[in-house]
Amino acid sequence: MIVMGTAAGSGRSRPRGERMLPAGVKKRAVGMGLRRTFKQHGRFGRIVALAAMFFFALALGAKAASLTIELNKLESQKESCRAYVVVTNNSSTVYQALKLDLVLFQPDGVIGRRFALDLGPVKAQKRSVKLFDLDTPCDQVGSLLINDVLECNGETGPIPNCLADMTATSLTKAKLSK
C-alpha cells in the first residue's frame, strides 16, 4: 500500500512527485542511470526505461552466430564457375572438420546438383577464404542451399548443433541459405 509522502512500511518520506517502483526495478534503474527518466517523465518515462532495460537484457543474452558462411564471389572459368566462400569463426572453437551438404539450384529453381563441400579446418577467432569449383557455368547458379552438415568436429570430438550455430549470407546475386 502506498501512503502519500512516505514509502509504505519504511517510515521515511519521499520527495514530492517521486513515484514508488518495485524494489528490484528501482535498484536496476538507479544502476543504469535511469532514475532521472522515471522522475522527469512519469509513467511514459517508466515504460520507455523498462523497455530499454528489457531490450538491453535481450541483447546481452543473444548469442552471436559462432560460424558465418558467406558466398562472396562467383567467377567464371572455362566451362565452370569458381566460388569464393568466406568462413568467419567468431568462437574459441577450432573446427578440425567442417563438411557441408550443398544443393545448387538453377535460376529457374530446379535443382542442378548436390555436392559436399569441405571447409575445414577452421581456426578459432579467424576469418578465412575457401575456393571451390562448380561443374556448372556461373549463369546457371541461381542459389545454394546448405542442406545439412555432414561432419562438424572440434578438437574434442563432434560439435552438436553445428547447423543451428551457423549463419549463411551472400554478396552475390546467387543467394546462400540454410
Q: pLDDT of 74-116, one tens digit each? A: 999 988 999 999 999 999 999 999 999 999 999 999 999 999 9
Q: Is the pLDDT of residue 29 over 50?
A: no
Q: Strands 81-89 and 67-76, how do they pair?
A: antiparallel
Rounded to an integer, what distance in angstroms lies between the CA atom of residue 114 and that of residue 129?
Answer: 22
Contact 84, 72 (CB under 8 A): yes
pLDDT of residue 137: 96
Q: Map residue 19 onto helix, strand or coil.
A: coil
Q: What pTM, to 2 d.p., does this model score?
A: 0.64
Q: What is the 8-class DSSP label of residue 3?
A: B
What mean pLDDT comes out for the span 7-36?
Answer: 52
Parts of the chain belonging to CATH 2.60.40: 67-177
Tell me the per-residue pLDDT of 34-61, one tens digit each, with 9 for 90 and over: 455 445 556 665 555 545 444 443 333 3
Could you tell me which residues come within 8 angstroms of residue 96 by beta carbon, excluding any fewer than 6 positions away?
120, 121, 153, 154, 155
Cα torsion 140, 145, 148, 149 to 10°: value is 80
Tell me the per-residue pLDDT of 138-170, one tens digit each, with 9 for 90 and over: 999 999 999 999 999 999 999 999 999 999 999
pLDDT of residue 12: 52
Give the CATH number of domain 67-177.
2.60.40
The residue among 81, 130, 84, 129 whose CA lies nearest residue 107 is 81
